[in-house]
Structure 1
Amino acid sequence: MSFIVIIPARYASTRLSAKLLQDIHGKPLLQHTYENAKKSGASQVIIATDDKRIEAVAHEFGATICMTSTKHTSGTARIAEVLTKLDIDDEKVIVNVQGDEPMLAAQVIQQVAQNLIDSKMQMATLCENVVDEAQYLDSNCVKVVFDKFGKALYFSRSPIPAFRNEADFDAALCFKHIGIYAYRSGFIKQYLTMNRSDYEQVEKLEQLTVLNEGFEIHISKACASVGFGVDTQADLDKVREALQ
């Protein structure tokens, strides 16, 4: 299996300033993400950024970097520019790894690439059970429901599935979406030509446009821990403690 990992990396962040450059035990956060991706068996790992500060730090730890436009409004668009610049074949499997996921295990990256190939769906992503009812109710936690064949039915910030009787809540039936994606290079370019669906616009979830257009997204439970993504100082503190 051959695949490329692309890590979109923006400097600006609303809740934690310059989060990708925050130190975690002597290394910037982005370096932890990059090194995990390198262990996944990917043929290439590329950091896609529009910021010279990110570029300079990534050069220091030996990363492959592709500079992109400052005008992109999503990581997907940034990845599409990399594919065009590097003339990557439309059939190549691409894994989109968020730069702020320093604990994402290498085998999870490999898993989502393999799932795309095996399922023959247009996209693949992963999930894990919610930890408790508070997470299930949290609008910052994207939930997903899927069928017995691993085909995603819907993603939402609302609590899904809804329990008619609140006392019947069962975390075993509730899944948190993990923001890692695999797709063919050509499908990423195709996605950018789609009209943003009403569902994407109200939920602010790009994958809802894919479902609205009738394409299929494969989803399965992650085969290993994904740890914590970093959005806030509290998240960063948790990661530092976990990686001690």
Structure 2
Amino acid sequence: MEKSIDNLNAIEKLNTKLGVKALLSKKVISIDRSLRIVGYVKRLKKLQVELIKMQTSVIENNERVIVIFEGRDAAGKGGAIRRITERINPRHFRIIALPKPTKEEQTQWYFQRYIRKFPKAGEIVFFDRSWYNRAVVEPVNGFCTKEEYECFMNQVNDFERMITQSGIKLVKIYMSITKKEQERRFEEIQKNPLKQWKMTDVDKKAQELWDDYTCYKTKMFENVNEDSVPWKIINANRKTMARMNSIEYLLKQIPYDKNREV
């Protein structure tokens, strides 16, 4: 009896525009995969409604929020940020993905160019990679000196304490993938002419330098003290789950009225 009910529920889900689209999205039809897609899209829409409520609260209360996404190359940081922001008010958020520093910026205090991008009242700023470039990417690839790296590690906790004490809410998310999954995604990017632009020289060395990244990533996590904003490590091998887990974590960090109508 229960199996019959499950089958009926599955048929109902697939007998929709979304269900048919999911079924036909691949050459080989997979009912299980299609049901997962339908479930993901429905769950994502519900979470995006909550994000609208959360952002409305940020705007009305003149709050300032920074959300930073870190993780290995091809971990899905950009995709998670897109799902978070695609339904909220574009006038009240910014996505920041800074290029390499200019010659002028190289002469400044390291954190300076990030501070310029901080949120005003009623705004959320998403950093697709942040000042933590200096904790992992830069030392692994030789983009900073040992002294610059150590200076950063000594200053970052105090820097973030100043951020939070000034009233800014800071959320830190690290998206984690396996070496095998990163390799698979790189191959997919290289085969897709619409995604090839994503593959940088740094990305091309990521597999070779995997253990070095692991070493510095571990040091970054260990550097957090009792007063620091904690990292949320999200398993990102499955993109859909990683996106939903990122949204759910963000919603828990920013208080808002869950009963608000939108």
Higher relative CO (Cα under 8 Å, sequence separation at least 6) belongs to 2
Give the structure with the larger strand fraction: 1
Larger Rg: 2
Normalised by the size of structure 1, how large is the TM-score?
0.24
